[in-house]
């Protein structure tokens, strides 16, 4: 993990009430193979979720409104360093029954950075959310989110993440940094 960045990046946030997770994101070359492995590990076929994330201009961290495409949404603020490998992420989420109305208000107030449309297949493996994402304009990706328990250290989360990477056949050279929004903006370049 880019642990040398964690204390300087999060500073006093480490003692906040926000939940934390250890994340890994990787480009996937064979989505069906990864889905098969994730299915075996989770003992489920996973849940398919369609999402559209609108990112807003934000001076600290990232702010996005996730439209769950069923009349509900989530306003999500998160901070994490942009580095390869496992990384600490802290976040806060507020559910909304009016994603369209909230999107309009936030767009007026902050401006829109961009949108990310994806189909997500969610697998639960222990305390880890394994996402197999098909991102419009980018392709296939995998995200691991090890949700840390109150008494767990970052190191324990990293061990879990690295073990799942190995079990899923995710190689170090396929890891990516940043959010999908960053990758889309870079591709539009």
CB 89 within 8 A of CB 20: yes
pTM: 0.83
**pLDDT at 5 (0 to 100):** 32
- Which one, of 14, 176, 7, lies nearest residue 90 by Cα? 14
Place of tokens 């950075």: 113
Q: Which residues of 86-124 are buried (b: 16+ CB within 10 A; e: fewer)?
A: bbbbbbeeeebeebeebbeebeeeeeebbbbbbebbbbe
Alpha-carbon distance of 106 to 85, in angstroms, equals: 32
**pLDDT at 93 (0 to 100):** 94
Q: Mind listing the pLDDT tens digit of every residue in the chain (189 residues)? A: 443 233 333 333 333 455 688 999 999 999 999 999 999 999 999 999 999 999 999 998 999 999 999 999 999 999 877 776 777 788 899 999 999 999 999 999 999 999 999 999 999 999 999 999 999 999 999 999 999 998 898 889 999 999 999 999 999 999 998 889 999 999 887
Topology of the domain covering 3-188: Hypothetical Protein Pfu-838710-001 (2.40.320)
Residue 170's Cβ-count burial label (10 Å; 0-12, 13-18, 19+) is buried
Alpha-carbon distance of 152 to 20, in angstroms, equals: 10
Q: Could you say which DSSP state residue 105 is in? A: H
């Amino acid at each position: 993990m880019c642990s040398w960045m964690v204390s300087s990046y999060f500073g006093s946030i480490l003692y906040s009430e926000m939940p934390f997770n250890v994340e890994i994101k990787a480009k996937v070359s064979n989505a069906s193979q990864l889905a098969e492995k994730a299915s075996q590990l989770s003992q489920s076929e996973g849940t398919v979720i369609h999402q559209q994330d609108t990112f807003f201009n934000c001076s600290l961290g990232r702010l996005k409104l996730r439209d769950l495409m069923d009349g509900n949404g989530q306003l999500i603020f998160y901070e994490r360093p942009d580095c390869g490998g496992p990384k600490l992420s802290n976040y806060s989420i507020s559910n909304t029954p009016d994603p369209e109305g909230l999107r309009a208000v936030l767009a007026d107030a902050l401006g829109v950075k961009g949108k990310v449309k994806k189909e997500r297949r969610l697998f639960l493996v222990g305390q880890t959310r394994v996402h197999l994402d098909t991102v419009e304009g980018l392709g296939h990706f995998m995200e691991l989110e090890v949700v840390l328990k109150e008494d767990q250290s970052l190191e324990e989360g990293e061990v879990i993440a690295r073990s799942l990477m190995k079990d899923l056949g995710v190689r170090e050279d396929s890891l990516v940094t940043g959010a999908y929004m960053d990758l889309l903006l870079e591709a539009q370049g």
